[in-house]
Amino acid sequence: MVITFASLDGAPDPVVQVDASMIEQALTNLVVNAIQAMPTGGTISVRLGADVITPPADIEGSVAEYAYVCVEDQGVGMTSEQMTHAFEPFFTTKDVGEGTGLGLSVAYGIVRDHGGWIGVASEIGKGSRFSIYLPLAQGTVKADDDKPARS
């Protein structure tokens, strides 16, 4: 299993104000989900960056720049019906006894508590991509000690 990390070449790291341990839990859940979606192995890619984007309708906000972390796998993928339920507690595509169906719903709750959202794209047989979007930190960061956690 290969896990790669990549950020935008030459672009400054986006800065977000988060509870680092909570975001670590959300990312861990996405990576574990990606690993489990690849029973025969494959590559997991994690990309970092920022983009100007419109939040989904259920998120208050207008077009703005958001930091993102995308976790993409080469796994079995999901149907559009499965994607509509992906963040519901206890929903799982795994066999009975192989998962609780809580990982994605917990990750989603954590990200929503931070003013963000998780986007999902998937295709059967080609894999899935889960993208965490978080609002950029406000204000100017002056010293390394004062920097918010980086995504």
Q: Where along the chain do its domains lie?
A: 2-138
pLDDT-derived band at 121 (thresholds 50, 70, 90) equals: very high
The CATH number of the structural domain formed by 2-138 is: 3.30.565.10
Q: 146 phi and psi, to 5 degrees?
A: -95, 0
pLDDT-derived band at 43 (thresholds 50, 70, 90) equals: very high
Q: Rounded to an integer, what distance in angstroms lies between the CA atom of residue 37 and that of residue 94?
A: 9
pLDDT per residue over 54-101, tens digit each? 999 888 888 999 999 999 999 999 999 988 888 887 777 766 666 667
Is the pLDDT higher at 19 or at 14?
A: 19
> 135 and 115 in contact (C-beta within 8 Å)?
yes
Say what the pLDDT of residue 3 is: 45
